[in-house]
Chains A and B, each alone.
Chain A
């Protein structure tokens, strides 16, 4: 077993154990479980960061050019976003979905070949690196918004003291959408500049480009919808859920099922 595999399995185990502690907290409501879960996620994140840095150093570029690498990076951004909300707002098990998604991504990455493919010359630019960093940070924040949207609906229909109050869930959901939109806007700006220097046009009608624009337009609409009374709360929660469906299709659906200029394998 290589050092990189050890790091990967260790961080996966940390996240898995953290989910266990969060579930125990949901059932038994003990602060010790929360503290243990937080520490486990933090250690998993530190190990995953070390793994990412090691792979970056080995490759000489941020390795995000195949499915394994993007899963690893997306999972890292999910953990980062969870830690941001946990440290800032103490959301605890309210972010459980994000941790579960993280586990799913890492778990499905485990059996894959971790070898880093050589970098295609066109991708050898900082524009690509930052395009990817902002893209996955945006995706992770949209995943958090999905999680908070689901919990908002659950909390509304089944009042449960284990979940934060509705106004807090709404506030966090709006923050996740706003930050996600900001990062995704930066991703599209850098992607467009890169497309101009690489292909000679800044907007591509390739299906990935079209759906990335759809994601941006959808969340731009959401950033406005929060000011409309009718869409506040429940409507916003449903929109967050639908938006994440669009994100999933843009990242996985197009990358795996359709032919695009952003292949994952």
Chain B
């Protein structure tokens, strides 16, 4: 029984049947994918296991072919592995087929790598970082990512060509990798890949004309000493703020619409005042009273780098599989020409 099962799993015909089935299933499935972007659109934005939980399970009428094709490919991987083991056991007699069986072993590694990455990895797009900012790596709380510097590279027409991000990866506060990351040169550490995907600018404050001081920039954290002995401190800045019915100030988007600054005013002999200054409106009276006479000029913008953070624990295994397959291809080609030069080829049936 065991020998028959082994023989079945080493069978060439099984490989052809499984490859044909998988080919037909994926061919048909690809059409379902194309015509149902609402179901399949996010397949590259997340790992397969997460996508299956979110969309696959709930749309079985369109996604049923995926587990079937996946099973065929898994079985093909097992079939390839059995063929490889069978070949390795008879290596002395069959060493001339080394190239072909390296391709088999590489394929097995690639299949395992895909399954591993699809189950244990994650993909996170649109992570925004300003210079000096540190964010936690999603799903990996012990890791954090810091953007040390950022430099967009533009051509003469202002078209973006590249973006140089100096990124540092920390594990429990200890730096583990630092690299200048740009297009096609991501930060790679273990199975983690950090890719600069885009960049932009967003307003972080406003510049004002202050007759006695010239141009003054006010951003969250800015403090200005006043002649009266008190001080002005900017607590927050909303590029587009709205006043709710209950008096709360709500933040809108990141584009300049109705900008507002939250300011704290301190005075040596009075209680501090805290309130919002809507730049399109009048200066609040407590500020005027404290001798603050400012006129808004233009927003202060800061660059933000947008990075994709993906983790695929199988990626190194897949690379190993790719290298094995590439080496196998080269050896198979050498072996092919050697055999052809000796007139050695399968017999015509």
Q: Please tell me if the beta carbons of A197 and B186 are within 8 angstroms of each other in the complex.
A: yes
From A174, A185, A205, A228, B16 is in contact (CB under 8 Å) with A228
Residues of B within 8 A of A217 (CB): 19, 22-23, 26
A5 lies within 8 A of chain B by Cβ: no
Q: Please tell me if the beta carbons of A122 and B183 are within 8 angstroms of each other in the complex.
A: yes
Question: Roughly how many angstroms separate A98 CA and B205 CA in the complex, as a whole number?
Answer: 65
Question: Roughly how many angstroms separate A49 CA and B348 CA in the complex, as a whole number?
Answer: 38
Given known A198-B184, A203-B114, A224-B12, contact A182–B346 (CB-CB < 8 A): no
Query: 1/0 per position for B315-349, CB-CB distance to A under 8 A?
Result: 10011001001100100110010001000011011
Q: Please tell me if the beta carbons of B322 and A192 are within 8 angstroms of each other in the complex.
A: yes
From B19, B188, B315, A220 is in contact (CB under 8 Å) with B19
Residues of B within 8 A of A199 (CB): 44, 195, 308
Q: B300 to chain A: closest CB distance in Å?
A: 28
B103 lies within 8 A of chain A by Cβ: yes
B94 lies within 8 A of chain A by Cβ: no
A162-187 contacts to B, CB under 8 A, are 166-167, 170-171, 174-175, 178-179, 182, 185-186
Looking at the complex, which of A73-81, A103-111, A207-215 is the stretch in contact with chain B? Answer: A207-215
Query: 1/0 per position for B187-222, CB-CB distance to A under 8 A?
Result: 010000111000000000000000000000000000
Question: Roughly how many angstroms separate A193 CA and B117 CA in the complex, as a whole number?
Answer: 15
Which B-chain residue is minimally distant from A205 (CB atoms)?
B43
Most buried by B among A179, A206, A224: A224
Q: Please tell me if the beta carbons of A185 and B20 are within 8 angstroms of each other in the complex.
A: no
Q: Please tell me if the beta carbons of A258 and B123 are within 8 angstroms of each other in the complex.
A: no
Sorting the interface of chain B by its residue count into under 10, 10 to 19, 20 to 34 or 35 or more gives: 35 or more
Most buried by A among B13, B19, B161: B19
Q: Please tell me if the beta carbons of A198 and B44 are within 8 angstroms of each other in the complex.
A: no
From B33, B161, B162, B188, A205 is in contact (CB under 8 Å) with B33
Residues of B within 8 A of A192 (CB): 318, 322
Q: Please tell me if the beta carbons of B184 and A125 are within 8 angstroms of each other in the complex.
A: yes
Q: Please tell me if the beta carbons of B44 and A201 are within 8 angstroms of each other in the complex.
A: yes
Q: B193 to chain A: closest CB distance in Å?
A: 4
Q: Please tell me if the beta carbons of B346 and A186 are within 8 angstroms of each other in the complex.
A: no
From B19, B123, B312, B346, A226 is in contact (CB under 8 Å) with B346
Q: A99 to chain B: closest CB distance in Å?
A: 24
Q: Please tell me if the beta carbons of B33 and A200 are within 8 angstroms of each other in the complex.
A: no
Residues of B within 8 A of A207 (CB): 30, 33-34
Q: How many residues of A contact B (CB 8 A)?
A: 52
Q: Please tell me if the beta carbons of A200 and B19 are within 8 angstroms of each other in the complex.
A: no
Question: Roughly how many angstroms separate A179 CA and B30 CA in the complex, as a whole number?
Answer: 27
Residues of A within 8 A of B114 (CB): 203
B288 lies within 8 A of chain A by Cβ: no
Q: A237 to chain B: closest CB distance in Å?
A: 13
Question: Roughly how many angstroms separate A221 CA and B12 CA in the complex, as a whole number?
Answer: 10
A58 lies within 8 A of chain B by Cβ: no
Q: Please tell me if the beta carbons of A189 and B326 are within 8 angstroms of each other in the complex.
A: yes
From B22, B43, B312, B332, A182 is in contact (CB under 8 Å) with B332
Q: Please tell me if the beta carbons of B345 and A171 are within 8 angstroms of each other in the complex.
A: yes
Residues of B within 8 A of A228 (CB): 12-13, 16
Which A-chain residue is minimally distant from B321 (CB atoms)?
A189
A202-258 contacts to B, CB under 8 A, are 202-207, 210-211, 213-214, 217-218, 220-221, 224-233, 246, 258
Q: Please tell me if the beta carbons of B312 and A201 are within 8 angstroms of each other in the complex.
A: yes
Given known A121-B183, A182-B333, A186-B329, contact A201–B12 (CB-CB < 8 A): no
Question: Roughly how many angstroms separate A232 CA and B347 CA in the complex, as a whole number?
Answer: 9
A6 lies within 8 A of chain B by Cβ: no
Q: Please tell me if the beta carbons of A210 and B30 are within 8 angstroms of each other in the complex.
A: yes
Q: Please tell me if the beta carbons of A227 and B185 are within 8 angstroms of each other in the complex.
A: no
Question: Roughly how many angstroms separate A171 CA and B345 CA in the complex, as a whole number?
Answer: 8
Given known A200-B310, A206-B44, A227-B346, contact A221–B16 (CB-CB < 8 A): yes
Question: Roughly how many angstroms separate A204 CA and B46 CA in the complex, as a whole number?
Answer: 11
Residues of B within 8 A of A174 (CB): 345-346
Residues of B within 8 A of A225 (CB): 16
Question: Roughly how many angstroms separate A217 CA and B34 CA in the complex, as a whole number?
Answer: 20
Which A-chain residue is minimally distant from B14 (CB atoms)?
A224
Q: Which residues of B contact A (CB under 8 A)?
A: 12-13, 15-16, 19-20, 22-23, 26-27, 30, 33-34, 40, 43-44, 103, 114, 117, 123, 160-162, 183-186, 188, 193-195, 308-310, 312, 315, 318-319, 322, 325-326, 329, 332-333, 336, 340, 345-346, 348-349
Given contacts A202-B318, A203-B114, A221-B23, 9 further A-B pairs with CB under 8 A are A124-B183, A167-B348, A170-B348, A182-B329, A200-B194, A200-B310, A227-B12, A227-B346, A228-B13
